[in-house]
Amino acid sequence: MKRSYLIIMLLLPVILKAQTPTLSQKLYLTGKVWGFVKYYHSNVSTCNVNWDSVLISVLPAIRNAATDSEFNDALDTMLAAAGPMALATSSFPDVLPAELKRNRDFSWITSPVLRTDVQVQLDTIKNNFRPHASCWVDYNSYTGTYFGFLVFPYDSLELNASTTVAYPDSNQRLLMLYKYWNIIRYFNPNNHILDTNWDTTLMNNVLPMAYAPNAQALFMQYLKIATTLNDAHSYGLTWSSTVQFPPGFYKPYIRLQYFGGQYVVVKSLVSGITPGDAITSVDGLTMSQWEDSLRPYYSSGNLSVFRRSMCENVLGRMVNSINETIVFQDSAGTSHTITTPTVWWPANKAFFYDYYYPADSLNSINWTTMECGVGYLNIGNLSLAGTDSAYAALRNAPAIIVDIRNYPVSGSVWQLADLMYPHRTEFAKFTIPDVTFPGTLFWETDSMGHDGNTTPYIGKVIVLMNEETQSAAEFDCMVLSAMPGAVKIGSQTAGADGNVTFWKLAQDLNTGFTTLGVYYPNGDSTQRIGIVPDSVVYPTRAGIRHHDDEVLNKALGIACSVSNVPAIQPGTLTFEILPNPAHDKVTITSSEKITSIVISNLLGQTVGTKTTNQARVELDIEDLPDGVYFIRINNAAVRKFIKN
């Protein structure tokens, strides 16, 4: 008995090794092996092998493998089709820091499901790989390396057919999934901040994709996969031209915005529902229940942008003129129920603009001057051609409010930065996928402005933002935030701040993702976080009812406090400050002897004083925070200067 027990214990590892892996395990590992060889093998990465056909031919054996050994035999067949790996003739030191090689994780090669001979082949490929141009992926020839846009010459189209006309079989669907998954695996710079590990996403989706019964189910599965990227770009870029995900484009003429824990009506053409009312349920489901049902299909980096998607879609249906039952709460807290039909939403764009401002007049403004002589720029409307004239008109304003609760209509903010920055300034840095070394990234920085600028802006820059602020708009916020003393007002932005790569899964299926990791110069990330306001301000239901813009009001309050700093007084006393901008010291040269010096910040607060009896005085400003300041001498004349 003891001898039998000993034999069983000795053979247990062999018995366990020989057990049949599940279909999920087999398909999961096949996808990882296939993608790794695609990008790392010397023959396959240069398209000397029809690697797609190899997968299609081996998948039946993968599926039918009854034991671990048979499964590994099928992998051996696939690896043999790749041909011999070119052996490296020199060493290749691994010197990249950890944050630049997060996607180059090959710990899965040691999986106990993989046989030793398969592991050796995979290790041989890994150890002999050297960075080189690949046929599968490259930078967009128009934008170049710097911007990180990628193209996939042989993977877009992944399937050269419409899924509704020629629905792909199970093997073709797995091929599409493996292509998609491995593109993200090796070239997404934000994999390390996903809620669900990307390997887990593959494991969770191989069987649903293999058994998806029709084009609608296939599209829905890709929406679920895209959602695990926690990326608002992926939500917008993953769409079908032939099938829809309910809700659809038919909905009542009601516009919603989420704040104060409620879905609030901000525009309405439905009789009985007015701005400021709060929707509490739709068609028998509470708003919380709607959130739970729609969350698997809305890729979003944070709650702010998820609820933006809810506002856009929760009232939508796929059928015209279908009645919806809406329960809402009025200003007195009384609940009402109304039934209203759905309509084709884009038909009333004249009333429902792309972006909502409580003060309706802002919809059509490019730039203007507001109270206290404060400038206002609407980046959703300001054209590049109009930027120079707008800056010329507002350059002497005590403050400029830049409204980015929208998406920029042009590159006007970049032009503004070149005009406004006191000198060349680095405002962002990026991690960019290295197409010659799949799984790794490299750093780039971005700067604007120019040294020696003779017309810098020395007033207060105030940036407005909310959940509509996404991508290029968030980047614009970063640009303007680099201005000395800039203030950001509003609420959390979308957290999808980087250029995108997109491609076609099939003739009617599209997808994409954020291809840059975007960071401030100090290394703080913006992906999923968004741009963090200095002053958090949300609309209110009362403000919506009265078209009162609380976010703009806060900005005007700060701007007008700046404008109250006394202007230069008339008289014979004149002086200059050099250098300006300055870093540690400034020299004041006056036409008269200076008896008193007072330094104040943009809010009028005194931050330094000095008494003297000279016409030329040197001031130490090294301890002052960077920003815009005012120097008043003899309580008679004032000049602005920039500390940086």
Rg of the chain taking only CA atoms, in angstroms: 30
- Max CA separation in the chain (angstroms): 113
Q: Are residues 177 and 258 in the same domain?
A: no
Q: Are residues 610 and 634 in the same domain?
A: yes
Burial class for 343, CB neighbours closer than 10 Å (0-12, 13-18, 19+): middle
Angle, CA 341 vertex, CA 337 and CA 346 arms, to 5°: 125
Q: Are residues 399 and 533 in the same domain?
A: yes
Centre a 10 Å sphere on the Cβ of residue 501 and count the other Cβ atoms it contains. Answer: 26
Is residue 641 pLDDT above 80, yes or no? no
CA–CA distance, 252 with 323 (Å, rounded to integer)? 9
Q: In the listed set 139, 161, 185, which residue is the last one of a domain according to the structure?
A: 185
**What's the whole-model pTM score?**
0.86
Q: Are residues 71 and 123 in the same domain?
A: yes
Kindly state whether residue 61 falls inside one of the protein's structural domains. yes
Q: Are residues 487 and 595 in the same domain?
A: no
Kindly state whether residue 492 falls inside one of the protein's structural domains. yes
> Residues 209, 214, 216, 220: what is their CA dihedral angle, to the nearest 10 degrees?
-10
Kindly state whether residue 602 falls inside one of the protein's structural domains. yes
**What pLDDT was estimated at residue 368?**
94
Q: Are residues 435 and 552 in the same domain?
A: yes
Q: In the listed set 319, 348, 377, which residue is the last one of a domain according to the structure?
A: 348
Q: Are residues 37 and 90 in the same domain?
A: yes
pLDDT, tens digit, 9 for 90 and up, residues 358-415: 988 899 899 999 988 999 999 999 999 999 999 999 999 999 999 999 999 999 999 9
- CATH number of 338's domain: 2.30.42.10
Kindly state whether residue 277 falls inside one of the protein's structural domains. yes
CA–CA distance, 174 with 155 (Å, rounded to integer)? 14
- CATH number of 605's domain: 2.60.40.3080
Kindly state whether residue 7 falls inside one of the protein's structural domains. no
pLDDT, tens digit, 9 for 90 and up, residues 399-451: 999 999 999 999 999 999 999 999 999 999 999 999 999 999 999 999 999 99
Nearest to 556 by CA among 360, 369, 358, 361: 369
Q: In the listed set 170, 185, 200, which residue is the last one of a domain according to the structure?
A: 185
Q: Are residues 429 and 523 in the same domain?
A: yes
Q: Are residues 376 and 514 in the same domain?
A: yes
Kindly state whether residue 413 falls inside one of the protein's structural domains. yes
Q: Are residues 372 and 329 in the same domain?
A: no
pLDDT, tens digit, 9 for 90 and up, residues 167-209: 999 999 999 999 999 999 999 999 999 999 999 999 999 999 9
Domain that holds residue 23: 17-185
pLDDT, tens digit, 9 for 90 and up, residues 453-493: 988 999 999 999 999 999 999 999 999 999 999 999 999 99
- CATH number of 548's domain: 3.90.226.10
CA–CA distance, 526 with 547 (Å, rounded to integer)? 31
Which phi and psi angles does 120 have, rounded to 5°?
Answer: -65, -45
The total number of structural domains that make up the chain:
4
Which phi and psi angles does 251 have, rounded to 5°?
Answer: -160, 165
Q: Are residues 399 and 503 in the same domain?
A: yes
